[in-house]
């Protein structure tokens, strides 16, 4: 497997110079006596080279020809800020473990919250979207004791598992043919009174579907049911100006939800280990109250460990996010938002190309920047097999797609399959989430067509 590190190599020297300057600034006016931990640098160099050998076995995630899974390279500013903070290794559990990085986390989370019009909310960073959703569902259970969770059949698979962990029932709600929750089906499911929290997914992981949030809010509010927005992948698209009307309406209503989850490590240019959960009503902080004998909370300021299920957390993640947001503020029409819009344009271009090729069919129009399509097939199983062949052939052309299984109701309306010998089809999926994907689309399409010819 060959790696394509052109992206990083090009910026290698200025990158090191920037880190060097920041390290000098960080150590300025140090008053403690010099101290060096005993490190055998020859041995370190040796094992680091071993690690480099092992790391060669990877896909080229950072390259525009990688359109497979939801992987977007962190911004160099994020990587550098993370590395800078690692010379301290702060722990954002308590101010005692990371004073500066805790303050930076509060500012970064406030900035995320402001994207949804929230100024008085309560939130924090966490390991990722799963942990963030776990906290939102847990607070939901504390607020509506004994009642369960409803999410669409296309919601992230962890919602049902998290409900299991919380010991509450989970109900999957049917979707329309574009993978969006059906509000009428939700209304039926809520009639029993067993549900306390509805999860609206703003950008499903499989196809980027945006649930109709205004309708979901109306149905849920009528029954006193909480609404949680799982915007782990899609949340930042609230900044984009090129959404279709239904998706726009959904994002515009996000501020009315009780909680929102957004993953800076998905679309926010951050290294892994950076999700966020934010609650509209700061008083839910009372559910976190604990009285641990190890507690080292000093002073009266809010320690993030007082409002988080996780204990130790990387302060470096907060420093990386804070720095990235200073560089690229999350505002409409800004450079960061333009990057999201470019990915969406790339998705629309790919959908057009796929639609124009007689061999292929797009499953649905992309709502964000994920395109799902399939080879036409006489039978469902044949379409799946053909897609697997195209996936392999594309990889041989250095074009890395993903495979994803979609149920019959989401494939059938496309007319791609004539007879059904299986209840799902393994489809091709492209996450065109790098801004560069727009300019690379002609090259991507050329390689896709070569793969189609090879796999014929
Ligand atoms: C990725 C994703 C998750 C899970 O987040 P992790 O950061 O992978 O734990 C949850 N929900 C949605 C919609 C996602 O796209």
What's the topology of domain 335-455? Answer: 3.90.1150
For atom 10 of ligand 1, the residue with the nearest CA is 129
Q: May I ask the CATH class of domain 99-288+300-327?
A: alpha beta
pTM recorded for the entire structure: 0.95
> What average pLDDT does this structure show over 397-412?
98
163 lines ligand 1 (CB under 6 A): no
In this prediction, residue 7 carries a pLDDT of 45
> What average pLDDT does this structure show over 33-50?
93
> What average pLDDT does this structure show over 91-96?
90
Average pLDDT, whole number, for the chain?
94
Higher pLDDT among residues 81 and 32, named by residue? 81
pLDDT exceeds 80 at position 214: yes
In this prediction, residue 2 carries a pLDDT of 42
In this prediction, residue 96 carries a pLDDT of 85
129 CA distance to ligand 1 middle (Å): 4
Q: Which of 48-57, 92-101, 208-217 has the lowest mean pLDDT?
A: 92-101
In this prediction, residue 341 carries a pLDDT of 98
> What average pLDDT does this structure show over 154-169?
98
130 lines ligand 1 (CB under 6 A): yes
Interval 248-286: pLDDT, tens: 999 999 999 999 999 999 999 999 999 999 999 999 988
List the chain domain ranges.
99-288+300-327, 335-455
154 lines ligand 1 (CB under 6 A): no
pLDDT exceeds 80 at position 206: yes
> What average pLDDT does this structure show over 57-72?
95
Interval 408-443: pLDDT, tens: 999 999 999 999 999 999 999 999 999 999 999 999
230 lines ligand 1 (CB under 6 A): yes
Q: Identify the bridge partners of residue 419 per DSSP, sorted by sequence position.
A: 379
Interval 6-29: pLDDT, tens: 444 555 789 999 999 999 999 998
129 lines ligand 1 (CB under 6 A): yes
In this prediction, residue 291 carries a pLDDT of 65
443 CA distance to ligand 1 middle (Å): 29
> For the chain, what is the HEC assignment?
CCCCCHHHHHCHHHHHHHHHHHHHHHCCCCCCCCCCCCCCHHHHHHHHHHHHHHHCCCCCCCCCCECCCCCCCCCHHHHHHHHHHHCCCCECCCCCCCHHHHHHHHHHHHHHHHCCCCCCCEEEEECCHHHHHHHHHHHHHHHCCCCEEEEECCCCCHHHHHHHHHCCCEEEECECCCCCECHHHHHHHHCCCCEEEEEEEECCCCCCCECCHHHHHHHHHCCCCEEEEECCCCHHHHHCCCCCHHHHHHHHCHHHCCEEEECHHHHCCCCCCCEEEEECCHHHHHHHCCCCCCCCCCCCCCCHHHHCCCCCCEHHHHHHHHHHHHHCCCCCCCHHHHHHHHHHHHHHHHHHHHHHCCCEEECCCCCCCEEEEEECEEEHHHHHHHHHHHHHHHHHCCCECEEEEEEHHHHHHHCCEEECCCCEEEEEEEECCCCCHHHHHHHHHHHHHHHHHHCC
377 lines ligand 1 (CB under 6 A): no
In this prediction, residue 30 carries a pLDDT of 85
Tokens 């290698």, residue located: 12
Interval 105-158: pLDDT, tens: 999 999 999 999 999 999 999 999 999 999 999 999 999 999 999 999 999 999
The reply to whether 335-455 shares the fold of 99-288+300-327 is no
| Per-residue confidence band for 303, with pLDDT thresholds at 50, 70 and 90 | confident
Q: Which of 23-37, 105-119, 330-344 has the lowest mean pLDDT?
A: 23-37
Q: Determine the atom of ligand 1 nearest the C-alpha atom of 272.
A: 7
């Amino acid at each position: 497997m060959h790696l394509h590190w052109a992206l990083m190599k090009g910026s290698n020297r200025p990158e090191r110079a920037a880190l060097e300057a920041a390290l000098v600034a960080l150590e300025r006016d140090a008053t403690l006596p010099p101290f060096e931990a005993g490190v055998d640098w020859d041995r370190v160099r040796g094992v680091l080279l071993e690690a480099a050998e092992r790391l060669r076995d990877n896909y080229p995630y950072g390259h525009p020809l990688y359109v497979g899974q939801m992987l977007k390279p962190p911004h160099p500013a994020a990587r550098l800020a993370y590395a800078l903070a690692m010379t301290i290794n702060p722990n954002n559990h308590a101010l005692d473990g990371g004073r500066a990085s805790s303050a930076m986390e509060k500012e970064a989370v406030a900035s995320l919250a402001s994207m949804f019009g929230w100024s008085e909310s309560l939130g924090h960073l966490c390991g990722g979207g799963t942990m963030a959703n776990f906290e939102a569902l847990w607070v939901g259970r504390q607020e509506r004791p004994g009642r369960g969770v409803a999410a669409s059949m296309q919601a992230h698979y962890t919602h049902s598992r998290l409900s299991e962990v919380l010991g509450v029932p989970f109900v999957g709600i049917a979707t329309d043919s574009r993978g969006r929750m059906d509000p009428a089906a939700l209304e039926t499911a809520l009639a029993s009174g067993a549900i306390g929290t509805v999860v609206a997914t703003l950008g499903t992981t499989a196809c980027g579907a945006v649930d109709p949030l205004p309708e979901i809010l109306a149905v849920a509010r009528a029954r006193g049911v909480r609404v949680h927005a799982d915007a782990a992948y899609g949340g930042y698209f609230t900044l984009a100006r090129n959404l279709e009307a239904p998706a726009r309406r959904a994002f515009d209503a996000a501020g009315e939800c009780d909680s929102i989850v957004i993953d800076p490590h998905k679309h926010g240019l951050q290294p892994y280990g950076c999700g966020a959960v934010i609650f509209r009503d700061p008083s839910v902080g009372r559910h976190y109250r604990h009285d641990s004998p190890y507690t080292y909370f000093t002073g009266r300021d809010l320690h993030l460990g007082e409002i988080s299920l996780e204990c130790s957390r990387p302060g470096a993640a907060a420093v990386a996010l804070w720095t990235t947001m200073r560089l690229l503020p999350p505002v409409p029409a800004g450079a960061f938002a333009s990057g999201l819009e470019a990915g969406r344009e790339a998705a629309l271009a790919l959908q057009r190309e796929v639609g124009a090729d007689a061999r292929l069919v797009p499953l649905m129009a992309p709502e964000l920047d994920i395109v799902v399509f399939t080879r036409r097939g006489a039978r469902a199983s044949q379409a799946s097999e053909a897609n697997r062949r195209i996936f392999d052939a594309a990889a041989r052309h250095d074009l890395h797609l993903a495979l994803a299984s979609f149920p019959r109701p989401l494939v059938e309306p496309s007319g791609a399959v004539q007879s059904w010998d299986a209840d799902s089809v393994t489809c091709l999926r492209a996450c065109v989430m790098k801004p560069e994907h727009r300019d690379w689309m002609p090259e991507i399409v050329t390689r896709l067509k070569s793969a189609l010819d090879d796999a014929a």
